[in-house]
Amino acid sequence: MSSLDKVTDAWMKNAAEAAERWEKRASERAEIQAKLDAEGPGAADAPDFVEAYRNRASGRRAERALHPTPLPDDIRVERIMGIDNRIRFPETVEERDAGRPVARIVTLPQSGRPAEGFGSGFMITPRLLMTNHHVIATVREARGIGANFDHGFTRGGGVTPGEIFDLLPDTFFASDKALDYAVVAVGDRSLSGKALDAYGHHPLIERTGKILIGKPINIIQHPDGGPKMYANKDNDVIDRLEDFLHYRTDTKPGSSGSPCFNDFWEVVALHHSGVPAMANGRILNKDNKPWTRAQGVDAVQWVANEGVRISRILADLRSRSFSDPQQAALRDEIFALGVSADESGDAVSLPPAVATVTAGPARPAPSVGSGEMAQTIVHVHGPANVYTGTVTQTASATAEQPLPSPAAQESGLGAEAAIRFDPHYGRRRGYQSTFLDGFDIPLPRVQPARAGEIVTDRHGNPQILDYHHFSLVMNRVWLLQMWSAVNVDYSPEVRWDLERSDFGSDKWIHDPRLSEALQIDNEELYAPAKKFDRGHVVRRDDNVWGVTREEVEFANSDTFHWTNCTPQHENFNRSSLSGVWGRLENHIKNQASAVGGKLILFSGPVLDIERAIPHDFGGGLFRVPLDFWKVAVVVEPPAGRRARKLRAYGFVLEQKKAIDTKGLEKLPVEERFDVGDCEAQQRSLKAVEKRTGLVFADIVREADVMLEAADDAVVALESLDDLKLQP
């Protein structure tokens, strides 16, 4: 029998016991539901619980809960309780961070036999992991078992293997069958040598009042011993028993040992069982007939889930005595960290991000028209791992820009200091598809014919680099971005009265998650190309917004990565020089108030070999794009009874006239590329796709204001005042 089968058997026994507790509380639950229907969450709780919860809600955790940072959510799966509300990816930065200390419990891999997942667990101190007793019951059972972190889905549908760490039950082990918990030590290095502290831990808070009946509970889990998933919808607490909580979150047998979180991402319970429907002492299937083991657990009619209250587990741990001083110290650290978290408001403790860069050979000059592509493969997942050669260097991502003291942050940065970058690359939220209220706008895709040019992860999926408010994908042939997507908010409440100089002097840097060989920098092109600006693709002004000053500061600096830079002629880029790109950006900004202040911008250079200038400015041969594209997506305000409507505007902008009239460098006219006249063009999205090699989501295509126009239709924007972000 496999480890997962054994856990499933134990899980079903717990389920039967949970069902008995559920049936005994039928009348109490009816009363609870009536109170909730009448007065909402908290109405069914004792006054001391409500007061304790409200005290917690007044702190920093409440700020995080009220202002979560959304992440893209592209892939959903099928359901368990009616409709499966578990998803493959976190929806917010807070949820993603909460998932980092969660691991899959596995058998250690051996020759010819891969690791087998059979449960879930999570770190509660830098050295200790918690799971269920029915997952790991004894010291003997824990030997030969590991904790597998970062085992999850990729955006392309693949799975990352993650890192496996040995469990060390001889160093520390404690368990209890009645409360169904086990706590075990974990080795400090993975089988491949990665440090355990990269994943952080969830401090456990002993005090009660962390959640109210009727409030949501969220589970991060490894169902069926598989990749990590997130259950965060239709997940309210139904009932509170002395030792258990009942709730409606979706889970499966491999979810045993998962942490249950309140809306502040504090651990409130240890998930241990589903609650099946029963009749006459028999578990029922979905057809209301007696269930048999041969039908499998998916056939069970589940009515709820059950978790063990963390406060009860901690009370049991506190009552235990350990003769070994090291074990006693490890146990005591659980409580010390919990008290610290309770006082500080830190529900999850995560370490600084670390960038690991593997240096490869010097960058070869791209060969124009050859069709050859560099054979660099990039994998980025939180801490950066770039594989391009054989010499490995590891450096803290904080080395470039150390964080200032709180006093320095309060006073702001003077112009004499360089802009400050967020050192934690693994925590950037990136573009959020649900940014425009009521609409889900997916990222663009690359057409199959161009897919081979894209920087990918080691599974062959396009590597999406996330920054504050925007995301992008790099083209490894051109060494420029293929596309970027940014959430723009000009609402007054998220705009700060800050000048550009308030952030410090501009400073462009390499993204440490990506090989420098894939990023064109100053010495190679921009410094020797006297007439070319370091052109932001994601505009600084569009990105400089946020709830806090620090968010605004980091959003500003994130636009100064070489990955967000393209060579743009000064007369094309600068609005002060009548540059068409700069003027269009200013016009879109000025029109933002007409559409509620929020919009989404997709943009990038047109990477077309027929529309580019191959040139060596002194740092190597590069292709200078002649054209740039931009797509603005907005929500049209309702008119009368008409519903709010999505609108998309496509543009192709050319810098050829600036180059032709002002010069590529100081070249004779006869040696210059023949670029013709300049036009600022409004184009259909079909035309933009054809020029860029991209594919926009159907919801964006259908919102195109030029949807009915011919594919080659062009609207020359003689005056930007004629362009309105409305139909």
Largest CA distance in the chain: 94
Domains in the chain and their CATH numbers?
Answer: 3-344 (2.40.10.120), 375-498+525-722 (3.40.570.10)
- Which range in 125-139, 341-355, 493-507, 556-570 is most confidently predicted, on average pLDDT? 125-139
Tell me the backbone φ, ψ of residue 243, rounded to 5 degrees: -110, -10
The residue with greater pLDDT, 147 or 26, is 147
Q: Is the model's pLDDT at 484 over the cut of 70?
A: yes
CA–CA separation, 377 and 426 (whole Å): 19
Alpha helices, H only, 546-684: 549-558, 570-573, 580-591, 656-662
pLDDT tens by residue, 217-255: 888 988 877 889 888 766 789 899 999 999 875 555 447
Q: Is the model's pLDDT at 684 over the cut of 50?
A: yes
pLDDT tens by residue, 563-607: 998 876 444 444 433 444 456 656 666 666 666 788 899 999 899
Name which of 91, 99, 53 is nearest 71 in CA terms. Answer: 91
Q: Predicted confidence band at 174 (pLDDT cuts at 50, 70, 90)?
A: very high
pLDDT at 505: 86
Q: Which amino acid is at 719?
A: S
Q: What is the mean pLDDT of the chain?
A: 76
The residue with greater pLDDT, 139 or 681, is 139
CA distances, 319 to each of 169, 326, 328, 340, 584 (Å): 20, 17, 12, 20, 68
pLDDT at 592: 60
Pairing of strands 181-190, 128-131: antiparallel
pLDDT at 357: 31
- Tokens representing 198 are 């990269």
CA–CA separation, 431 and 44 (whole Å): 39
Q: Which amino acid is at 364?
A: P
Tell me the backbone φ, ψ of residue 69, rounded to 5 degrees: -105, 105
In the block, which residue shows the tokens 């010291």? 139
pLDDT at 588: 67
- Tokens representing 307 are 């978790």
Q: Is the model's pLDDT at 446 over the cut of 50?
A: yes
- Tokens representing 581 are 């790109």
Q: Predicted confidence band at 204 (pLDDT cuts at 50, 70, 90)?
A: very high
What's this model's pTM, rounded to 2 decimal places?
0.50
- Which range in 114-123, 365-374, 636-645 is most confidently predicted, on average pLDDT? 114-123
Q: Is the model's pLDDT at 665 over the cut of 50?
A: no
CA–CA separation, 2 and 10 (whole Å): 13
pLDDT at 554: 94
pLDDT at 125: 95
Tell me the backbone φ, ψ of residue 282, rounded to 5 degrees: -115, 140
Q: What percent of the chain has pLDDT over 70?
A: 69
